[in-house]
Amino acid sequence: MSDQIDTRISPTLHPGIAGEIADYDDDTRPLLGATETVVHEAYQALQSIHDAKAGAAKNPTLNEYAQLVAFDTHATKVMNKVYGSWSRTVDTLNANITKLEGELNAPVEQRATQSMASEIRAHFKGLKTDGERMGALRKAIENGDAVTVTAVLGGRPYLSGLEPDLHAEFLHDWHNAQRPVEAKKLRAMKAAADLLNNRYKLLTKAVTEAVGDIKIYEPSKVNGAPILVKTITPAQVREQVKASNAAFAVPV
């Protein structure tokens, strides 16, 4: 990846993804390769649009309307490929996130005997406050006490005096503590998906701005200063061309 900044493009669209995801490292890099690639391709496509625009401006056979259509056509061609890759990358990330979240929220099998597990759950249910209950369970998770944690989380929430939502939250915390690499991968993929979703809006805006439009000005009747009276987009130019060509249609 190039470290050079193209001043024609916002720095927020630079392909340096590594510095934007806290959990980017050797464990998560294989999962984020496609994300890096598509962001880099988008950056190159934007550069290509700017280059095409500069090139069209040097063509003496093209007026400003023909130039606008020319580099808008180029932009559509290169960005359709990028948008397709972008969408597939997000879909893959979301699928992997769903799969790993399922694994990190899966039920646990209790390690204690049935009688001991029942005693542990009764102990937790007998604690006076939710705060005590939560504190004891959190301490067991931090200490890696599988017997206690799986006894509590391996049964119905009400057996230990826990609300279902809290039970699910502690279950997730237990899996994260036991499988830190997988938890890190999940965080990294979620961050990558958020990055792509947020950057997509910036990307489409950058493409529109790179292509631009034609602005028509007229002098002010008051002081002669130019006043913007009309903005012509590539789509409007194409409509005008289509209407003009209709006049040359040969009757059947």
| pLDDT tens for each residue of 87-96 | 999 999 999 9
**Structure tokens given for 172:** 């997730």
Our measurement of the distance from residue 28's CA atom to the centroid of its chain's CA atoms, rounded to an integer in Å, reads 16
Q: How far is CA 135 from the centre of its chain?
A: 35
SS3 123: helix
Res 1 pLDDT > 70: no
Does residue 70 carry a pLDDT above 80?
Answer: yes
Give residue for tokens 């625009």.
Answer: 53
CA distance 249 to 74: 27
3-7, 59-63, 65-69, 155-159: the lowest-pLDDT one? 3-7
- Please tell me the distance from the alpha carbon of residue 29 to that of residue 25, in angstroms, as a whole number: 6
* Mean pLDDT, the chain, whole residue set: 91
The ranges assigned to domains in the chain are 11-104+181-212, 114-178, 213-246
- Mean pLDDT over 184-201 rounds to 94
- Is 4's pLDDT higher than 80? no
